[in-house]
């Protein structure tokens, strides 16, 4: 970036600084640690200077916002044009309760919805399934049929909000329910904006809500791409949210998060191409989801590196022509795993720091965790503080005033380069294995994540890492904070509703639509239209998934620890 | 106790949540401490956990759950253990996201101890070594 003469001068002066200024001091006062490492265990130098950036070129590696390689952001104006979407993940109990929480969040200035479904819903079981015992309405809202979905969005005009749904294995079922609710509100599906997570590969490697084996799951995912993007039924819908978040939460490093996520993304692109969907028709609707962890500069560098690496992969590896296919748009959530049950109020500060990294890293939307999440689901008060944290960052901190404020920092730019380089090395390794699907089937990614998680835990236990309130600065008995408890009656209410629906609906019609799903799932045709019909006939989520289970089989995880 | 007669521990994930970072770390730490560890994997029913405990003839079961379904699922597991005549023959411990106020109820069911988030693995290892020694060697 600078001319050679200038760099030589800096090199010389740096040597002099080390000899004359630094070393005499170090002899008297050694540094407090022998080794300085980031949250992801990357080595950090004492000082970064223009010498670290010797090999990088501003125009090709950093460039301008809204232009390739998008290091500085995907939009030309970023937050000067529009702030990120404040999108708090919420859901518990029955559809009525969650509907109330949504309305409260919207009243308080939240700008997008994000639905948390309970585990039976996420795994395609109805609330009356034996495996649903104790889980109904616990970590999210219980959805059995379209009826529940109608209640969930009652009074919320779906053409006025964008909605994100964390649903993976049965994603197409929930997406079609959303379409059906909109239709009942008189809104056509091409007006709907939002995101469906629909990212199965990270379910196998980290999150665990898979149903079917990888290959039929990939087919379901690309059916959604085809329906929304190729058939242009939902041009404003993000057909997938390719997620590093859960792998990071399961313990991988920032570099691995970028690498494994982009390796998964490559697998989805290849699957869609194989299905015959033209690259530039679906690539623009791929979205991403990252974790924002504690290490301020490392996280900012991670966001920038991921954006640049994806742009390069799409342009150079896949030959995408439309600039929108090169752009990585992403959601971010602060790191739940970093929150402590000890001194939970401290978590407000952790969340604020993490959220700042996402804002400095150019996220399109953000969820800030609540301080009580190491103890329970967020209480109303805790959820409110979490949202206010975003508002303070957006309106008071000044980080939204200019674009990519940390560009040009010797440290951040060096780390951006390093994360990109090391993530690429991992991606090449996964390519050699045969791609992300094979890597998951062989347990490679699972093992890598577990190794990192175990090392991190050991570092905490040997106090190589300090976690305030956990292994240092501990205070004794702590006052209890109020936590949210899901009413155990929820399960009964939900079961009664399910019984009623099954009685009231046209059961012949339901059987017919389920047969159609069975037929199509045995062919290569797109399953979406058949699922739309079943959902509208009030077939349950479990009934639809059971048909698919019969045809596709179920995934059995290899045990790795 | 000789090396060939090690304590056998079943680490199990009842319920539907897929968060097994903690369960796997505990499993590995117990193994590193010289115990024989069987990990069930995620999404186990109470029935499958009890049957694994029976088959593997374990000295202890560690239950990990983060979804909030612990009260119902643990109760069912303890009932099944009782039915199989295992309840007093092995030690059951638990961890995950379990509110403190639920502990007395879980203790009453027969769960020996509940470890909260942030518990160092060495605390769990030391506890088990002591408790298992008391239960199986001095009793």
Residues of A in contact with B39 (CB under 8 A): 559, 561
The answer to whether A460 faces chain B, any CB pair under 8 Å, is: yes
Concatenate the DSSP letters of all residues of A299-322 into one string: HHHHHHHHHHHHHHIIIIIS---S
**Coil, helix or strand at residue A44:** coil
The answer to whether A374 faces chain B, any CB pair under 8 Å, is: yes
Decide if A123 and B43 are in contact by the 8 Å CB cutoff: yes
Closest residue in chain A to residue B120, using alpha carbons only: A461
- The count of C-alpha atoms lying within 13 angstroms of the C-alpha of A215, restricted to the half-sphere facing its C-beta, is 7
Cβ-Cβ contacts under 8 Å for A317 (sequence gap 6 or more): A266
- The count of C-alpha atoms lying within 13 angstroms of the C-alpha of A421, restricted to the half-sphere facing its C-beta, is 10
The pLDDT tens digits for A268-321 are: 999 999 999 999 999 999 999 999 999 999 999 999 999 999 999 999 999 999
Strands B91-96 and B36-39: unpaired
CA distances from B107 to A488, B70, B93 (A): 20, 12, 10
Return the structure tokens found at A129.
Answer: 């399934």
Question: CA-CA distance, A482 to A379, in Å (whole number)?
Answer: 7
Q: With 0-12 CB in 10 A as exposed, 13-18 as middle and 19+ as buried, what is A183? A: middle
The answer to whether A140 faces chain B, any CB pair under 8 Å, is: no
A131 Cα to chain B: minimum distance (Å):
7
At residue A71, the pLDDT reads 98
Q: With 0-12 CB in 10 A as exposed, 13-18 as middle and 19+ as buried, what is A73? A: buried
Domain definitions of chain B by residue range: 8-136
Closest residue to A208, CB basis, from B29, B42, B118: B42
Decide if B118 and A461 are in contact by the 8 Å CB cutoff: no
Question: CA-CA distance, A46 to A346, in Å (whole number)?
Answer: 28
Return the structure tokens found at B93.
Answer: 């411990």
In which residue are the tokens 């020694």 written?
B133
Cβ-Cβ contacts under 8 Å for A62 (sequence gap 6 or more): A56, A71, A72, A407, A408, A413
Question: In this structure, how many other beta carbons lie within 10 angstroms of the beta carbon of residue A373?
Answer: 23
Among B102, B4, B22, B1, smallest CA distance to A488 is for B102
A68 Cα to chain B: minimum distance (Å):
37
The answer to whether A27 faces chain B, any CB pair under 8 Å, is: no
Concatenate the DSSP letters of all residues of chain B into one string: --TTS--EEEEE-BSS----HHHHHHHHHHHHTT-EEEE--SSB-HHHHHHHHHHHT-SEEEEEE-SS-HHHHHHHHHHHHHHTT-TTTSEEEEEES--GGGHHHHHHHT--EEE-TT--HHHHHHHHHHHHHHHHT--
Decide if A486 and B68 are in contact by the 8 Å CB cutoff: yes
What CATH code is assigned to B8-136? Answer: 3.40.50.280
The answer to whether A200 faces chain B, any CB pair under 8 Å, is: no
Return the structure tokens found at A92.
Answer: 């518990």
Decide if A134 and B71 are in contact by the 8 Å CB cutoff: yes
Question: CA-CA distance, A143 to A126, in Å (whole number)?
Answer: 8
Cβ-Cβ contacts under 8 Å for A276 (sequence gap 6 or more): none
Q: Which of A134, A206, A489 to mutate to test the interface with B (most CBs of B within 10 A)?
A: A134
Paired with A241 in beta bridges are A287
Closest residue to A139, CB basis, from B27, B45, B67: B67
Decide if A561 and B39 are in contact by the 8 Å CB cutoff: yes
What parts of chain B have a pLDDT lower than 50?
Answer: 1-4
The answer to whether A447 faces chain B, any CB pair under 8 Å, is: no
Q: How far apart are the first and last CA of chain A?
A: 46
Residues of A in contact with B16 (CB under 8 A): 119-120, 122-123, 125, 131-132, 135, 209
Q: For the CA atoms of chain A, what is the radius of gyration?
A: 24
Closest residue in chain A to residue B69, using alpha carbons only: A134
Closest residue in chain A to residue B72, using alpha carbons only: A134
At residue A2, the pLDDT reads 62
CA distances from A387 to A79, A88, A104, A199 (A): 18, 7, 12, 26
CB pairs under 8 A between A and B: 101
What does DSSP assign to residue A162?
E
ipTM score above 0.95 = no
Decide if B121 and A134 are in contact by the 8 Å CB cutoff: no
Which domains, from first to last, does chain A contain? 58-461 (3.20.20.240)
Closest residue to A453, CB basis, from B21, B68, B120: B21
What does DSSP assign to residue A330?
E
Decide if B43 and A208 are in contact by the 8 Å CB cutoff: yes
Give the pLDDT of chain A (561 residues) as one tens digit per residue. 568 899 999 999 999 999 999 999 999 999 999 999 999 889 999 999 999 998 889 999 999 999 999 999 999 999 999 999 999 888 889 999 999 989 988 998 887 899 999 999 999 999 999 999 899 999 999 999 999 999 999 999 999 999 999 999 999 999 999 999 999 999 999 999 999 999 999 999 999 999 999 999 999 999 999 999 999 999 999 999 999 999 999 999 999 999 999 999 999 999 999 999 999 999 999 999 999 999 999 999 999 999 999 999 999 999 999 999 999 999 999 999 999 999 999 999 999 999 999 999 999 999 999 999 999 888 989 999 999 999 999 999 999 999 999 999 999 999 999 999 999 999 999 999 999 999 999 999 999 999 999 999 999 999 999 999 999 999 887 777 888 888 889 999 999 999 999 999 999 999 999 999 999 999 999 999 999 999 999 999 999 999 999 999 999 987 767
User: CA angle, A155 as apex, A149 and A161 as ends, to 5°?
Assistant: 80
B17 Cα to chain A: minimum distance (Å):
7
User: CA angle, A13 as apex, A12 and A19 as ends, to 5°?
Assistant: 95
Closest residue to A341, CB basis, from B19, B28, B117: B117
Closest residue in chain B to residue A125, using alpha carbons only: B16
Helix axes A541-552, A528-536, angle to 10 degrees: 150
How many Å separate Cα A162 from the centre of its chain?
Answer: 16
Question: CA-CA distance, A404 to A326, in Å (whole number)?
Answer: 18
Among A98, A132, A209, A227, smallest CA distance to A542 is for A132
- The count of C-alpha atoms lying within 13 angstroms of the C-alpha of A45, restricted to the half-sphere facing its C-beta, is 11
Residues of A in contact with B43 (CB under 8 A): 123, 131, 208
| Contact (Cβ atoms closer than 8 angstroms) between residue A201 and residue A437 | yes
In which residue are the tokens 């769960």 written?
B111
At residue A380, the pLDDT reads 87
At residue B4, the pLDDT reads 40
Q: For the CA atoms of chain B, what is the radius of gyration?
A: 14
CA distances from A201 to A65, A214, A342, A540 (A): 31, 7, 33, 25
Closest residue to A119, CB basis, from B16, B118, B120: B16
Decide if A208 and B21 are in contact by the 8 Å CB cutoff: no
Return the structure tokens found at A211.
Answer: 């149903």
Q: Which of A133, A378, A484 to mutate to test the interface with B (most CBs of B within 10 A)?
A: A133
Closest residue in chain A to residue B46, using alpha carbons only: A131
Decide if A377 and B68 are in contact by the 8 Å CB cutoff: yes
Residues of B in contact with A377 (CB under 8 A): 68
How many Å separate Cα A269 from the centre of its chain?
Answer: 18
Residues of A in contact with B29 (CB under 8 A): 457
Question: CA-CA distance, B54 to B85, in Å (whole number)?
Answer: 10
| Contact (Cβ atoms closer than 8 angstroms) between residue B62 and residue B132 | no
Closest residue to A138, CB basis, from B19, B69, B101: B69
Cβ-Cβ contacts under 8 Å for A527 (sequence gap 6 or more): A172, A220, A223, A517, A520, A521
Return the structure tokens found at A324.
Answer: 């929108």
């Amino acid at each position: 970036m600078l001319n050679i003469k200038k760099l030589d001068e800096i090199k010389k002066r740096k040597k002099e600084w080390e000899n004359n200024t630094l070393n005499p001091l170090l002899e008297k006062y050694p540094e407090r640690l022998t080794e300085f490492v980031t949250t992801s265990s990357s080595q950090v130098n004492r000082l970064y200077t223009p010498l670290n950036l010797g090999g990088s070129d501003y125009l090709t590696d950093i460039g301008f916002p809204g232009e390739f390689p998008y290091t500085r952001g995907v939009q030309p104006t970023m937050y000067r044009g529009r702030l990120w979407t404040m999108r708090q993940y919420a859901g518990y109990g029955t559809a009525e309760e969650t509907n109330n929480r949504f309305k409260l969040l919207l009243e308080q200035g939240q700008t997008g919805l994000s639905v948390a479904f309970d585990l039976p819903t996420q795994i395609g079981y109805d609330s009356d399934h034996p495996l649903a015992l104790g889980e109904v309405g616990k970590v999210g809202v219980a959805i059995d049929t379209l009826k529940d979905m109608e209640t969930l969005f009652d009074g919320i005009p779906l053409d006025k909000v964008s909605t994100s749904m964390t649903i993976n294995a049965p994603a197409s079922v929930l997406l079609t329910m959303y379409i059906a609710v909109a239709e009942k509100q008189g809104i056509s599906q091409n007006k709907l904006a939002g995101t469906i997570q629909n990212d199965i590969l990270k379910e196998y490697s980290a999150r665990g809500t898979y149903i079917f084996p990888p290959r039929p799951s990939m087919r379901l995912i690309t059916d959604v791409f085809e329906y929304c993007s190729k058939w242009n039924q939902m041009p404003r819908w993000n057909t997938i949210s390719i997620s590093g978040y859960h792998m990071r939460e399961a313990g991988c490093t920032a570099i691995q998060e970028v690498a494994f996520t982009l390796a998964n993304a490559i697998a989805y692109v290849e699957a869609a191409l194989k299905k015959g969907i033209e690259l530039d028709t679906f690539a623009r609707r791929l979205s991403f989801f990252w974790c924002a962890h504690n290490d301020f500069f490392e996280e900012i560098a991670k966001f920038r590196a991921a954006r640049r690496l994806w742009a390069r992969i799409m342009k150079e590896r896949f030959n995408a022509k439309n600039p929108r296919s090169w752009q990585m748009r992403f959601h971010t959530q602060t790191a739940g795993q970093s929150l402590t049950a000890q001194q939970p109020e401290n978590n407000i500060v952790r969340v604020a720091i993490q959220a700042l990294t996402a804002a400095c890293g150019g996220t399109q939307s953000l969820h800030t965790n609540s301080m009580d999440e190491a103890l329970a689901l967020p209480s109303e008060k805790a959820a409110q503080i979490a949202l206010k944290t975003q508002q303070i960052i957006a309106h008071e901190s000044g980080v939204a005033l200019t674009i990519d404020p940390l560009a040009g920092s010797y440290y951040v730019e060096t780390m951006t380069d390093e994360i990109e380089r090391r993530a690429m090395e991992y991606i090449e390794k996964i390519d050699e294995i045969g791609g992300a699907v094979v890597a998951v089937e062989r347990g490679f990614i699972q093992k890598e994540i577990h190794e990192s998680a175990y090392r991190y835990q050991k570092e905490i236990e040997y106090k190589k890492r300090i976690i305030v309130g956990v292994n240092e600065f501990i205070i004794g008995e702590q006052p209890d904070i109020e936590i949210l408890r899901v009413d155990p009656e929820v399960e009964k209410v939900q079961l009664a509703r399910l019984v009623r629906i099954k009685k009231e609906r046209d059961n012949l019609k339901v059987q017919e639509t389920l047969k159609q799903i069975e037929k199509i799932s045995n062919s290569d045709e797109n399953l979406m239209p058949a699922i739309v019909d079943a959902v509208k006939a009030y077939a349950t989520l479990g009934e639809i998934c059971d048909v698919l289970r019969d045809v596709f089989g179920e995934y059995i995880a290899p045990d790795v620890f | 106790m000789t090396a060939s007669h090690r304590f056998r521990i079943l680490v199990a994930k009842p319920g539907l949540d897929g968060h097994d970072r903690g369960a796997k770390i505990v499993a590995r730490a117990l193994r590193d401490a010289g115990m024989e560890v069987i990990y069930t994997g995620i999404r186990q029913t109470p029935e499958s956990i009890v049957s694994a405990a029976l088959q593997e003839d374990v000295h202890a079961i560690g239950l990990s759950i983060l979804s909030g379904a612990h009260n119902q699922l643990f109760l069912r597991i303890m009932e099944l253990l009782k039915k199989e005549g295992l309840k007093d023959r092995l030690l059951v411990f638990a961890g995950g996201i379990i509110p403190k106020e639920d502990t007395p109820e879980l203790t009453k069911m027969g769960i020996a101890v509940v470890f909260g988030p942030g518990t160092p693995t060495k605390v769990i290892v030391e506890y088990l070594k002591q408790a298992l020694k008391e239960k199986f060697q001095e009793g």
